Chains A and B, each alone.
Chain A
Amino acid sequence: MENRLRLLRAERNWSQQDLAERLDVSRQSVNAIETGKYDPSLPLAFRIAELFDLAIEEVFESPSRRSSKAI
């Protein structure tokens, strides 16, 4: 699942470790989410969106919308 996590983090000048500590997850989790290797659970996705004060769809791109755009 595509997301804007790296961009949002960079805007705030946070390292992966900073973000991980704010979300109470490991740095590897942040890295795996940013690189699209792991899709977070819904509760974690909400925590991420709330941390950046954004709606969940402003952080994560819906895979179905993405594929319909491609068509």
Chain B
Amino acid sequence: MFAARKSDMTPAQRAHTRRILWLLLAYAIILPPLVWIRANTAVAGYIPALMAIVASIPVLGIFASWGRYLSDERDEYHQTLALRRIAVATNATMGAAVVWGFLQAFGAMPLVEAYWIPCVWVVMQGMFACIAGFSRRDEQ
């Protein structure tokens, strides 16, 4: 009974990972043609705004997927870990954005596009997940 060991991922984690991979694939497919069109054609009017919104949709999907994951996760321990990771990544990213903003305002750092902030957040998430994973290695 119970001999077969299942994957260490919860069903909600598996669904979240699947969603993220599809969204990253969509991002990788959508972005290059949009960048090319913007650089090589004279788009005007509402088209650049529309292109910008289309480019941001997969990233918005990543944030929506996190929300869905937190709502779907039935394992309270994993839910707590995810919430902790989100809180740490959010604080670290917001802190870095504030410091960078002041450095920029005082002319000490160059202008950075605002869309890098969520990118940093996603990287922080991954980084803290790795740190947490390493610190729990002895539990395996």
Contact = CB atoms under 8 A, between A and B. Distances in A.
Question: On chain B, which size bracket covers the interface?
Answer: 10 to 19
Interface in A21-55: 21, 24-29, 31-33, 35, 38, 40-41, 44
Interface stretch (B48-56, B73-81, B102-110): B73-81
A38 B78 contact: no
Given A27-B8, A28-B8, A35-B139, A17 B76 contact: no
Contacts, number: 37
A13 to B, nearest CB: 11
Contacts of B136: 28
Given A35-B139, A38-B80, A29 B75 contact: yes
Determine the main DSSP class of A at the interface with B: helix
Interface residues of A, number: 18
Interface centre among A17, A21, A44 (most CB of B within 10 A): A17
Contacts of A15: 2
B77 A21 contact: no
A15 B5 CA distance: 10
A26 B75 contact: yes
Interface in B52-89: 74-78, 80
Contacts of B91: none
* Top 10 closest pairs, chain A to chain B, by CB: A29-B77, A18-B2, A31-B139, A26-B75, A38-B77, A21-B2, A25-B75, A32-B77, A41-B76, A26-B10
9 contacts: A17-B5, A17-B6, A24-B74, A25-B77, A27-B8, A28-B77, A28-B78, A38-B77, A40-B76
Interface of A: 15, 17-18, 21, 24-29, 31-33, 35, 38, 40-41, 44
